């Protein structure tokens, strides 16, 4: 059970003035210690795993189990225990919790609210819905590919009256074949990598490429969540679109979303849902870092829109080799984290990089 004092501290930090959203607890993702360390700790019935992805600790457990089961195949990522690119996922889910984005946006229930079940993930939350496709789908695929144990079957729970979420590997594969096949390809590539003779840097780049293909397939599949966007302000929707758009750059650069690197990029995300009138970089109760991140996200989306999608196409063209992807990751870090880095510099560097491809 969740200790009330711990939860109150986390949520208080999330809503306090001029404080970034809390995503770490003792150096690990929020509430990590209370998640399932073994598959057997998940709910089960008649020999079938029946976890509830609408309970935060169950959904976070998917990530803990995914990381633990795939770590033996992640040697090319580095020697540390937190180098897996999967670490970005639990940190992202933790940010959604502490920033209030997993709560019921309709206010028809107290799901996810401090006055209700704080561990509840609302099926009406657009953020919770989008995250479903990057938590439930990879977990079901991993189980199907033997990472959760031989012959393990999973039947995800679903709230009463909610019918638009798939709940089994077969169900998700039928509804979202591209996403599920790409997650399958990632888990199969992990197994094959242990036999590969490629140098570690090439092996790592190749695995990250397959991983991000699966991630982006899940992201595109989350268009199924679009009806839930009507519950949010225009400002929050603008940020949500920019947040999705940013994935195009991160994925093309084969970003290694380790615990440390992901923390750096996720900490400046807005610590609350945006409301009408919130215009970065001048949102008074958000930090300078949060305002800068919102401003850059918006700039990237707007420029790409003005150019008819050219910015994303240029970026993808430039990310054509291991070396240019490395430069691309450095460039993204400068753009997002260094307020003195000029945006026009970003455009000129990208244009120059495409000539080397």
pLDDT in tens, 88-137: 999 999 999 999 999 999 999 999 998 899 999 999 999 999 999 999 99
Do 143 and 183 sit in the same domain of this protein? yes
Sorted by sequence, the CB contacts under 8 Å of residue 82 that are 6+ apart come out as 258, 259, 260
| Cβ–Cβ < 8 Å for 88, 98 | no
The Cα–Cα gap between 125 and 278 comes to 20
Whether 7 maps to a domain, the answer reads: no
Report the pLDDT value the prediction gives residue 19, as an integer from 0 to 100: 56
Q: How many helices (H) and strands (E) does the chain have?
A: 14, 4
Whether 1 maps to a domain, the answer reads: no
Do 104 and 150 sit in the same domain of this protein? yes
Do 159 and 217 sit in the same domain of this protein? yes
Q: Encoding tokens for residue 220?
A: 């595109």
Do 240 and 219 sit in the same domain of this protein? no
Q: Average pLDDT for residues 316-331, to the nearest whole number?
A: 93
Do 205 and 258 sit in the same domain of this protein? no
Give the predicted TM-score (pTM) of the model. 0.93
Do 89 and 187 sit in the same domain of this protein? yes
Q: Which domain holds residue 47?
A: 25-229
Query: Could you report the per-residue pLDDT of 215-274, keeping only the tens digit for each?
Result: 999 999 989 999 999 999 999 999 999 999 999 999 999 999 999 999 999 999 999 999
The single-letter DSSP state of residue 223 is G
**Which residues is 25 bridged to in the sheet?**
28
The Cα–Cα gap between 152 and 161 comes to 27
Do 249 and 280 sit in the same domain of this protein? yes
User: End of a domain among 229, 257, 273?
Assistant: 229
Please count the structural domains in the chain. Answer: 2
Whether 88 maps to a domain, the answer reads: yes
User: End of a domain among 229, 250, 271?
Assistant: 229
Whether 3 maps to a domain, the answer reads: no
Residue 281 preceded by cis peptide, ω within 30: yes
Do 134 and 214 sit in the same domain of this protein? yes
Do 326 and 341 sit in the same domain of this protein? yes
Do 66 and 188 sit in the same domain of this protein? yes
The Cα–Cα gap between 293 and 302 comes to 14
User: End of a domain among 205, 229, 253?
Assistant: 229
The Cα–Cα gap between 178 and 273 comes to 31
Whether 102 maps to a domain, the answer reads: yes
Do 44 and 186 sit in the same domain of this protein? yes
């Amino acid at each position: 059970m969740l200790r009330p004092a711990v939860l109150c501290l986390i949520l208080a930090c999330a809503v306090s003035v001029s404080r970034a959203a809390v995503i770490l607890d003792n150096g690990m993702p929020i509430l990590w210690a209370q998640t399932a360390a073994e598959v057997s700790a998940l709910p089960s019935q008649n020999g079938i795993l029946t976890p509830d992805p609408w309970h935060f600790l169950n959904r976070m457990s998917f990530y803990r189990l995914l990381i633990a089961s795939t770590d033996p195949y992640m040697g090319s990522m580095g020697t540390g225990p937190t180098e897996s690119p999967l670490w970005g996922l639990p940190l992202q889910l933790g940010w959604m919790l502490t920033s209030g984005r997993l709560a019921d946006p309709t206010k028809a229930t107290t799901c996810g609210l401090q006055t209700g079940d704080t561990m509840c993930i609302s099926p009406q939350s657009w953020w919770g819905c989008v995250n479903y496709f990057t938590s439930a789908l990879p977990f079901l695929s991993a189980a199907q590919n033997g990472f959760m144990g031989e012959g393990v079957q999973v039947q995800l729970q679903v709230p009463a009256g909610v019918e638009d979420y798939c709940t089994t590997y077969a169900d998700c594969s039928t509804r979202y074949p591209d996403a599920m096949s790409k997650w399958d390809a990632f888990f199969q590539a992990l197994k094959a990598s242990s036999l590969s003779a490629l140098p570690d840097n090439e092996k790592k780049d190749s695995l990250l490429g397959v991983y991000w293909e699966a991630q982006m397939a899940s992201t595109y599949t989350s268009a199924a969540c679009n009806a839930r966007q009507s519950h949010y302000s225009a400002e929050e929707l603008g940020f949500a679109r920019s947040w999705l758009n940013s994935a195009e750059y991160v994925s093309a650069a084969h970003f290694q979303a380790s615990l440390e690197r992901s923390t750096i990029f996720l900490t400046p995300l807005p610590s609350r849902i945006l409301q009408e009138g919130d215009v970065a970089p001048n949102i008074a109760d958000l930090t300078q870092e949060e305002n800068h991140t919102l401003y850059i996200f918006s700039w990237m989306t707007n420029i790409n829109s003005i150019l008819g999608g050219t910015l994303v196409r240029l970026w993808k063209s430039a990310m054509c080799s291991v070396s240019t992807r490395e430069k691309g990751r450095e460039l993204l870090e400068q753009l997002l984290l260094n307020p003195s880095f000029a945006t026009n510099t970003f455009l000129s560097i990208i244009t120059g990089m495409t000539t080397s491809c």
